[in-house]
C-alpha cells in the first residue's frame, strides 16, 4: 500500500469515528436527496458533515462537535453565523409578513446599496447570483443590441448554461445537459492577457458585454491586478461594451463597496449576492441608470425592453437581513475592521507557510483580503500550483483538519472564506491544527512519494469510490479542473 493510500485511509478512519451522526443522517438523506445534499458542492466522500447550528465563526455538527468554520457556506457568512445585527433586523421586520407587494423594505435596501456601491445608480433585486448574472447579461444585450458576451477562462459565473464553460484552459462545458448551442453567444479569453483582448476587440463588433470576477476566485485567486482591471475598463469604454463586475463573491468582502471600491474601478453593471444578505436568499443587479432603464416599465418606446421579474425577488426576511448586514458593514468599515481582518488573515497565511515549510512540503498560498486558497507545489517551483500534487494531498489535508475541529475549506473545494468573527485566537487555533495534522499523519512522506511518482511520469493514485476523491472527482469529472484550482498559465504577482 502506498504512503498516500495509507494517509487517506488513516484520515478517513478518524473522520468516521468522529462523525457517526453525520454518517447516519447521510444514509437517511440519500433516500430522498441525490447524494444526500441539496447541492453538488456540499458533498464530499466518504459522506458530508451535517451541521445543527452555528454562532460567530463556529459551527456545531449533529454529533455535537464544534468546528471553526472558514468555509462559511461558500462565502456569504462574512459576519459569521447568527450575527446580532442581522438577527435583530429580521426579527424587527417579522410582522411585515414573508412576502408583500412592493415592500418599503425594498426601497430602503436599494437606497442603502446606492450609497455604498460605486456603480449602483439603479438596483434590481433577485434571488441568487446565477439569476443576477443571467439578468445583467440580458440587460447588456438589450442595451447594446449585440449578442456576444466575453468571459475569461478560469472564472465561474453561476449555473446558466451560457456560462458553464471555460473553467479550465479550453471551452469545454463542465456539466452534462448543456447544449453547445446555448454557448454560441459566449466568447472566452485567457485572463490577464491584454494582447488577446485587443485582438478580439479588433475583429469583432458584436460584443455586448465583458464579465469578470475581479478576484478570479474560481481560478484560485491567481494573477488579479488592478492594472488589468483598469485596462479592461478603458478598452470596454472605448468600444462601447458594457463591463460587468461579477461581485457575487467579492461584494462587501474586499471592502464595503466591493472590489470596485477596493481597486477604484467602476464597472457599468455589478452582480451581488452571498454577503449581500449575510446568508439569506437575495441577489441584485446594480448599475448605470441608462442601462438599467431597459427593465423600467415606464421607459419610452425608443428604449429596448428586457424582461425580468420574480415572485420572491423582495422577500421580507432577505431584505431585512440585507439591511442589518449592510449597516454592520458600514460600522466595520468606519472602525477600520476591514483592514484589521485582512491583516489577521495575512498573519495566518504566514503561519501556514511556516508550518508546511517545517514539514518539508512546498505550498503556495494565494490571498485577496479575507479570501484564501492553498495549493501544493513542486519542490522545485514553490511559487506555482502543481495540479497533481494538490489533487493528491489537499483532500486528505482538509479532511484531517475536520478531524481536529477546523473546517478550513470543504474537502475538495480549497476555498477559505474568513469572517469578521474570526478573531486572533480562532486563527491561532487554525494554525495550530495545521501543525497538528502535519505531525499526526504522514503528509510529508506522502508528499515526497507523490513527487517521486510525478517525476517518473505517474499521476498519484486517485482514491477508489467510497473512500477519498481528488478535488476533480469531487466535482464529478476527473478531466475538468476543480473549483479550487486554476490550470491556466496565469501571471502571478509576488
pLDDT of residue 221: 85
User: How far is the C-alpha of 398 from the C-alpha of 7, rounded, in Å?
Assistant: 12
Query: Would the pLDDT of 488 be above 60?
Result: no
CA 450 to chain centre: 28
How far is 331 from 95, CA to CA, in rounded Å? 26
- Taking only the tens place, the pLDDT of each residue in 241-285 is 999 999 999 999 999 999 999 999 999 999 999 999 999 999 999
Its sign, for the CA torsion 276, 277, 279, 284, is: negative
> Cell 494573477 belongs to which residue?
223
3-state secondary structure of 94: helix
- In angstroms, the Cα distances linking 183 to 128, 151, 186 are 21, 11, 5
Sequence-distant (6+) residues with CB within 8 A of 347 are: 424, 427
Summarize the chain as % helix, strand, coil (round to 5). Answer: 45, 15, 40
**Other beta carbons within 10 Å of 64:** 8
Q: What is the mean pLDDT of the chain?
A: 89
Buried/exposed code over 112-123 (b: 16+ C-beta within 10 A; e: otherwise): bbeebbbbbebb
Residue 458: pLDDT band (50, 70, 90) is low
Look at residue 461 and tell me if it is in a domain.
no
Residue 228 maps to a domain: yes
Residue 392 and residue 268 share a domain: no
* Residues 289 and 411 reside in one and the same domain: no
Same domain for 387 and 312:
no
Within a domain: 312 = yes
pLDDT at residue 391 in the model: 80
**Look-up of cell digits 472605448:** 238
Residue 329 lies in a domain: yes
Q: Check whether residue 298 and residue 397 sit in a common domain.
A: no
74 within a domain of the structure (yes/no): yes
How many distinct structural domains can be found in the chain? 2
Residue ranges of the alpha helices (H) in 362-483? Answer: 387-403, 424-440, 443-455, 471-474
- In a shared domain, residues 210 and 287: yes
Q: Is the peptide bond before 46 cis (omega within 30 degrees of 0)?
A: yes
Sign of the torsion formed by the C-alpha atoms of 96, 101, 106 and 107: negative
Same domain assignment for residues 76 and 120: no
- Distance separating alpha carbons of residues 394 and 376, to the nearest angstrom: 7
Single out the residue in 334, 362, 388 at which a domain terminates.
334
Residues 303 and 293: their CA atoms lie apart, in Å, by 8
pLDDT of 168 reads: 78
Q: What is the pLDDT of residue 383?
A: 64
With respect to residue 474, please indicate whether it lies within any of the assigned structural domains: no
- Are 7 and 133 found together in one domain? no
Domain that holds residue 220: 84-334
Residue 141: pLDDT band by 50, 70, 90 thresholds? Answer: very high
| 420 pLDDT tier (thresholds 50, 70, 90) | very high
- Using only C-alpha atoms, the chain has a radius of gyration, in whole angstroms, of 22
118 part of a folded domain? yes
Nearest of 281, 221, 220, 215 to residue 251 by alpha carbon: 215
Q: 191 and 279 share a domain?
A: yes
pTM: 0.90
pLDDT band at 384 (very low <50, low <70, confident <90, very high): low
CATH code of the domain containing 95: 3.40.640.10
Task: Report, as an integer, the average pLDDT of 361-383.
Answer: 87
CATH number at residue 70: 3.90.1150.10
Looking at the predicted structure, is the pLDDT value of residue 465 above 90?
no
pLDDT mean over 130-142: 97
pLDDT at 261: 97
pLDDT in tens, 313-348: 999 999 999 999 999 999 999 999 999 999 999 999
The per-residue pLDDT for range 82-101, each reduced to its tens digit, is 999 999 999 999 999 998 98
Tell me the pLDDT band of 382, cut-offs 50, 70 and 90.
low
Q: Please, which residues bridge with residue 375 across strands?
A: 364
Model confidence at 64, in pLDDT bands (50, 70, 90)? very high
Helical segments of 243-359, H only: 258-263, 289-292, 316-334, 337-358
CB 80 within 8 A of CB 95: no
**Taking residues 57-70, what's their average pLDDT?**
98
Q: How many CB atoms lie within 10 A of CB 274?
A: 26
Whether 441 is in a domain gets the answer no
Q: Give the span between the Cα atoms of 69 and 405, in whole angstroms.
A: 9
Of 392, 414, 433, the residue at which a domain comes to its end is: 433
Q: With contact defined as beta carbons under 8 Å apart, do 252 and 76 qualify?
A: no
Residues 111 and 177 in one domain: yes
Same domain assignment for residues 205 and 174 = yes
Q: Is 32 exposed, middle or buried (0-12, 13-18, 19+ CB in 10 A)?
A: exposed
CB contact at 8 A, 356 and 362: yes
Q: Are 168 and 54 part of one and the same domain? A: no
Alpha helix (H) residue ranges in 82-174: 84-92, 104-116, 129-144
Q: For residue 288, what is its C-alpha cell?
A: 448605470
Amino acid at each position: 500500500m502506498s504512503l498516500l493510500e495509507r494517509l487517506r485511509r488513516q484520515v478517513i478512519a478518524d473522520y468516521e469515528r468522529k462523525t457517526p451522526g453525520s454518517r447516519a443522517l447521510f444514509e437517511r438523506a440519500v433516500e430522498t436527496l441525490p447524494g444526500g445534499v441539496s447541492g453538488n458542492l456540499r458533498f464530499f466522500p466518504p459522506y458530508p458533515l451535517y451541521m445543527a447550528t452555528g454562532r460567530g465563526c463556529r459551527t456545531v455538527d449533529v454529533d455535537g462537535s464544534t468546528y471553526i468554520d472558514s468555509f462559511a457556506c461558500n462565502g456569504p457568512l462574512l459576519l459569521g453565523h447568527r450575527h446580532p445585527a442581522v438577527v435583530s433586523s429580521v426579527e424587527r421586520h417579522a410582522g411585515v409578513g414573508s412576502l408583500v407587494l412592493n415592500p418599503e423594505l425594498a426601497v430602503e435596501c436599494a437606497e442603502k446599496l446606492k450609497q455604498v456601491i460605486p456603480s449602483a445608480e439603479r438596483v434590481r433585486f433577485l434571488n441568487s447570483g446565477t439569476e443576477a448574472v443571467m439578468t445583467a447579461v440580458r440587460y447588456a444585450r438589450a442595451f447594446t443590441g449585440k449578442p456576444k458576451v466575453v468571459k475569461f477562462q478560469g472564472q465561474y459565473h453561476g449555473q446558466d448554461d451560457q456560462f458553464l464553460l471555460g473553467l479550465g484552459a479550453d471551452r469545454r462545458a463542465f456539466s452534462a445537459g448543456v447544449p453547445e448551442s446555448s454557448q454560441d453567444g459566449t466568447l472566452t479569453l485567457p485572463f490577464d492577457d491584454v494582447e488577446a483582448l485587443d485582438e478580439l476587440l479588433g475583429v469583432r463588433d458584436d460584443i455586448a458585454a465583458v464579465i469578470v470576477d475581479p478576484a478570479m476566485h474560481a481560478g484560485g485567486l491567481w494573477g488579479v491586478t488592478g492594472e488589468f482591471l483598469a485596462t479592461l475598463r478603458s478598452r470596454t469604454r472605448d468600444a462601447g461594451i458594457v463591463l460587468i463586475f461579477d461581485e457575487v463573491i467579492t461584494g462587501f468582502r474586499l471592502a464595503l463597496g466591493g472590489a470596485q471600491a477596493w481597486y477604484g474601478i467602476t464597472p457599468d453593471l455589478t452582480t451581488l449576492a452571498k454577503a449581500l444578505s449575510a446568508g439569506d436568499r437575495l441577489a441584485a443587479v446594480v448599475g448605470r441608470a441608462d442601462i438599467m432603464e431597459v427593465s423600467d416599465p415606464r421607459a419610452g418606446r425608443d428604449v429596448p425592453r428586457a424582461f425580468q421579474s420574480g415572485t420572491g425577488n423582495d422577500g421580507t426576511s432577505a431584505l431585512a437581513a440585507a439591511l442589518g448586514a449592510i449597516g454592520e458593514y458600514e460600522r466595520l468599515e468606519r472602525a477600520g475592521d476591514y483592514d484589521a481582518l485582512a491583516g489577521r488573515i495575512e498573519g495566518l497565511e504566514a503561519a501556514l507557510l511556516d508550518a508546511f515549510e517545517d514539514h518539508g512540503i512546498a505550498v503556495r498560498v494565494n490571498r485577496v483580503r479575507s479570501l484564501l486558497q492553498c495549493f501544493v507545489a513542486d519542490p522545485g517551483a514553490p511559487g506555482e500550483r502543481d495540479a497533481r500534487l494538490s489533487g493528491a494531498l489537499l483532500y486528505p489535508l482538509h479532511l484531517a483538519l475536520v478531524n481536529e475541529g477546523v473546517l478550513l475549506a470543504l474537502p475538495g473545494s480549497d476555498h477559505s472564506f474568513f469572517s469578521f468573527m474570526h478573531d486572533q485566537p480562532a486563527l491561532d487555533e487554525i494554525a495550530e491544527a495545521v501543525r497538528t495534522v502535519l505531525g499526526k499523519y504522514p503528509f510529508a512522506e506522502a508528499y515526497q512519494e507523490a513527487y517521486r511518482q510525478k517525476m517518473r511520469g505517474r499521476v498519484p493514485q486517485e482514491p477508489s469510490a467510497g473512500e477519498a476523491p481528488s478535488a476533480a472527482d469531487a466535482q464529478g469529472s476527473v478531466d475538468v479542473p476543480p473549483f479550487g484550482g486554476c490550470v491556466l498559465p496565469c501571471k502571478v504577482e509576488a
